[in-house]
A and B are shown apart, each in its own frame.
Chain A
């Protein structure tokens, strides 16, 4: 069956491949690379922890000065992005964004700039309108994303992209206005600014209407309304006008449009109607608001607070702190950058003039900025996360030495002078934990009050463990083989950052760990799915219904919160009730069968000790395809098994014995011993115990596909939103 889908899958990379990605695909022979690629495959939704994790790995490679590793990371990300479904590209871009902002140097200077323009542009052309808007938001932040608010990737990169995206779409719609807005020297007129603001406002309003849940857009609308009112009611000096213009544009993700011909428009570029709301129309005069003509700008400074302040202060935006009020006006014009109340601000060049502005204007600009910030905070990457676990031991020690309370503790202990040579066992000492007031809520471990980095990494460690545990839920874990002595001796990573725990070492543990993290559906998602519930239907017929996928009945459970009998792990899709997990498995299986999900290739569901890259390579070279049918069959069967194990939810032992029985027949060949001896490297095993009992399940899934194929899409969309919500909640929880 699945062979039919095979040619289609083969086409998949080619179809999107275009001329951009000509580099030979390096098979992931190196375990780190394979591991990283595996992890990337899980990044199918906007998950902060995964992005954080992947960024940290990138950071670790940087710290080790491992160019090969860094190259591998960049290549894998690019491939993954090109490969991903249009709906799943954004997280990968966020990952790039996160790596660039958090790790910085070699990535932003050497590795990423060459690939970013083509990657960005190709992605931009494939995604839908909402994603486009987000991408615009992101690229706009690159303007100040680098250290000291410089360009994140150097000047050329962003410009090139912007020329391509905005330049083209603009030239079509209103080339006239373009010429009215030359790039730098002349200042815009009030009318131009107003038009721009109005245009932006219109756009944002439409955007806000289309996605009502987006708080940020609402705030931007408010801010823009405020500016418009201000422009209508006061005289604003030209520089400020220019600034407002800039701000509005940057909020829009609209840079100074330059009337340049589109660089290289691939023929497949099609702007669907979906895109329309995103493309702003600058020149169109505000339709509903008739604005009295204003005197052309006067050069005097706008009236200060009392008179000039309009009554509109945007509500949901937190009012910027008072610092801007205190900023002495005479400082204006000096080159000293004035500390701004808001940590994320426009480039420093603007700062002095900002202070010069009448209060209300700068306030508005600030609020604009902030709404931009709010919009950006949806970007999942951890801005302020220090990559503590990757810190080298020495650095950590240094940090520790600066911590005063621990130092005090050290001095106290030394001061006690209890010496082993002359110990009085009955001396009345008490154990003092005063230097460790912070307690971990999860395990009760204590931390020094001023040792936030350590506490933070401890919490991260918990989070990672919890996540891993969720990921592994239902699939059964096993005891790993012990390390060889040399491995243990060199495994100083885990002890040097004690809080990081052994499970965080991406390099050392990668061969063993990728097994557990390799999943068909991310276990985090499985967990979320399992949390879904519906009320037990009142009609008896329905209450006795079974999940159409696994044919199992649902487990009734009393919910304290709802005071209702509920079915956990259940979804009601157009009247049919499914197990949420079964449903998800089914969807992903279908997607794979259709060949539309090539990014999940070669993720075997079975926990392997050391996934042997060589084995995978072999499969790939014989097929030269992204997904081999045999693997699909094998994996699917394992999924079936997995679903079967999960439905009982808590009967893991059954699951375990089940798989045990399956494996009991497997036999080790004679040649294996010589194999082990010949390859002493960590290739401990090449998992050749293919489960034997599989193929009978395949037709079933196909039938199901026909049954529900139509309803899939809506349900999926909704699920994704739930996911995002859930993951953002989760993020809140750990901060």
Chain B
């Protein structure tokens, strides 16, 4: 506050040739701010930088500025790793965007005008695109570019963003998948929330915040064969909700959907079960079906492109598979970096976007404000009060422990209550991120009513597997008094168990909002978080 005004610094200028990219990778101690000095637009992930305003970028961020025309950018300090490249995939992305935009416009004309559009083919709805690619191929970046291109066209699109990559969650925390509807171009300031953050109690002034988001909890970083059944149910529900939204919101229908996917989708055997060993790309087909995807963009991966083009399920639907090049600027991320990103994302969920770094706070001139210091709340809650559940069959006793010859058929989305008094559980629950699920009165199973009837109702897809549930329930130490359905319901938010008091039988939890929890039923996953910052 009482500092002297900073001494005039030496200006660091980056000159960009037409159609070139300036790429940077920020280290742990590097925070920079940029501003555009030339009149023509300069983009970061297809968001146009505001004119003559400092644009802060936080540490660890890796990104690129793209200048379609000659441009000059001022940087506060030159990152250690930075270079200019003329190999860019922006022209390709632009072509994809133009094709998508055309569909949106045609759909809009179809949906909003009474008569059919003049002469051109009928398009009933906006483009629904899914982006696939191996790890570190720039999937999220491509999605972000396409979304930003659509949002900055001035047409007022509200492109739906489907985040099907729990390891790089678009708006929430690792372990979640989400649907969101941003309406402003999404900025790139830091690692968390590449597609903007869900609303806070007060709107933050960066345009990334306040994005209506609805989330589901997988509880793991990617779909695997173990949680594939849970995943499928989640995707089904997401798809239904998207469909319902589109029924109500014609603009969303015309704007279309852009889906980011997990890199696990590139594994052909993902989701393949023993009963159908020949099935390939099961989860891809399922997602395509759930969201009625009409176009798949495959990044780089030639084999994947061929495989998908030949996939019978996709061919039947007439899904378009387009291969787009991988950006030369994509950086491979190792595990430690991923962990760091994950931790940062969870922290941002609770504490908001990071504050402006000190070295940037003193800059003269206008600054894109990055605020959003949030205050989470910590309180204690009794073991009995907070019902912690786990979803999925892997949490029950292994089938090898069963008597020989007897096989146990369990619902893949069955719920297990975590008993915190068991010492092993205590260890497992500490620092665990829990997802809060909304409970309605009809979700409770009253012990006297026949659970069988309830179960059939809850189970829509896997009807044949339900039968033995009743028996199983009786064996459980702690009965789960809820329908299974809640295990795959959309979540209301996340809490972290920061301490466990075994004597008083209480958890200490960190909650994003003050006051009571909206529900006392929480689902645990494999995501843990220790606030290290």
User: Chain A residues in contact with chain B, CB under 8 A?
Assistant: 393-394, 396-397, 400-401, 406, 409-410, 413-414, 416-421, 423-431, 433, 435-436, 439, 442-448, 451, 454, 465-466, 468-469, 471-472, 476-485, 488-492, 494-496, 498-499, 501-503, 512-513, 515-516, 555-558, 560, 606-610, 649-650, 652-653, 655-656, 659-660, 663-670, 672-673, 676-678, 680, 684-689
Contacts and interface: CB of A to CB of B under 8 A. Distances in A.
A670 B155 CA distance: 51
Contacts of B184: 443, 445, 498, 501
B98 interface: yes
16 contacts: A416-B102, A425-B91, A425-B96, A431-B94, A478-B512, A482-B493, A485-B241, A488-B213, A492-B252, A495-B251, A502-B199, A503-B199, A503-B210, A664-B508, A668-B379, A676-B520
Interface stretch (B46-54, B269-277, B452-460): B46-54
Q: Which 8 A-B pairs have the closest CB atoms?
A: A444-B50, A685-B516, A472-B202, A479-B512, A495-B158, A684-B518, A656-B375, A498-B183
A496 B251 contact: yes
A425 B152 CA distance: 21
B520 A672 contact: yes
B214 A483 contact: yes
B201 A670 contact: no
Contacts of B226: none
B75 interface: no
B520 A673 contact: yes
B357 interface: no
Contacts of A442: 50
Nearest to B117: A414
Nearest to B371: A469
A636 B17 CA distance: 60
A478 B520 contact: no
A480 B183 contact: no
A442, A465, A479, A649 — which one has the most chain B CB atoms within 10 A of its CB?
A: A479
Given A423-B99, A479-B493, A606 B514 contact: yes
Contacts of B149: 431
B192 interface: no
Contacts of B214: 482-485, 488
B199 A666 contact: no
B406 interface: no
B183 A419 contact: no
A428 B251 contact: no
Given A413-B105, A465-B203, A479-B513, A484 B95 contact: no
A670 B512 CA distance: 21
B153 interface: yes
A127 B515 CA distance: 42
Given A393-B250, A439-B51, A609-B514, A488 B245 contact: yes
A494 B181 contact: yes
B49 A444 contact: yes
Interface string B65-100: 000100000000000000000000001101110111
B220 interface: no
B202 A471 contact: yes
**Most chain A beta-carbon contacts within 10 A, residue among B1, B49, B349, B506:** B1
Contact of A454 (B156, B237, B320, B438): B156
A513 B490 CA distance: 22
Contact of A469 (B120, B203, B324): B203
Given A492-B248, A495-B181, A478 B2 contact: no
Given A479-B376, A652-B373, A677-B439, A418 B50 contact: no
Max count, chain A CB within 10 A of own CB: residue among B112, B320, B382, B516: B516
B115 interface: no
B249 interface: yes
Given A425-B325, A607-B201, A672-B520, 14 more contacts: A406-B154, A409-B155, A410-B109, A431-B94, A439-B51, A446-B152, A482-B213, A488-B212, A489-B248, A492-B249, A495-B251, A503-B199, A666-B379, A688-B516
Nearest to A417: B102
Contacts of A436: 153-154
Contacts, number: 332
A608 B320 CA distance: 48
B444 interface: yes
A483 B438 CA distance: 10
Contacts of A491: 212
B287 interface: no
B105 to A, nearest CB: 5
Given A445-B152, A495-B249, A678 B441 contact: yes
A323 B297 CA distance: 63
A663 B518 contact: no
B105 A430 contact: no
Interface residues of B, number: 116
Contacts of A423: 95-96, 99, 322
Interface in B471-524: 489-493, 506, 508, 512-520
Give the most central of B103, B251, B514, B520: most A CB within 10 Å. B514
Contacts of A609: 201, 513-515, 518
B179 interface: yes
Contact of A406 (B92, B155, B387): B155
Interface string B226-258: 000000000001000100110011111000000
Contacts of B267: none
Contacts of B464: none
Contacts of A424: 95
Contact of A668 (B96, B202, B516): B516
Contacts of A468: 202-203
A668 B68 contact: no
Contacts of A678: 441
A478 B381 contact: no
Nearest to B512: A479
B91 A495 contact: no
Q: Which of B127, B436, B512 has the most CB of A within 10 A?
A: B512
- Which of A431, A513, A665 has most B Cβ within 10 Å? A431
Contacts of B374: 476-479
Interface string B206-231: 01001111110000000000000000
Contact of B68 (A431, A469, A499, A555): A431
A632 B436 CA distance: 34
A484 B184 CA distance: 22
B350 interface: yes
Contacts of A672: 385, 516, 520
Nearest to A679: B441
Nearest to A565: B2
B516 A686 contact: yes
Given A416-B102, A609-B515, A656-B373, A444 B48 contact: yes
Nearest to B100: A420
B253 to A, nearest CB: 11
Interface string B375-414: 1111111101101000000000000000000000000000
A650 B179 CA distance: 34
B204 interface: yes
Interface string B145-172: 0000100111111100000000000001
B309 interface: no
B381 A667 contact: yes
Contacts of A406: 154-155
B324 A501 contact: no
B94 A444 contact: no
Contact of A484 (B377, B380, B492, B514): B492
A84 B476 CA distance: 62
Between A652, A655, A686, the greatest number of chain B beta carbons within 10 A of the residue's beta carbon is seen for A652
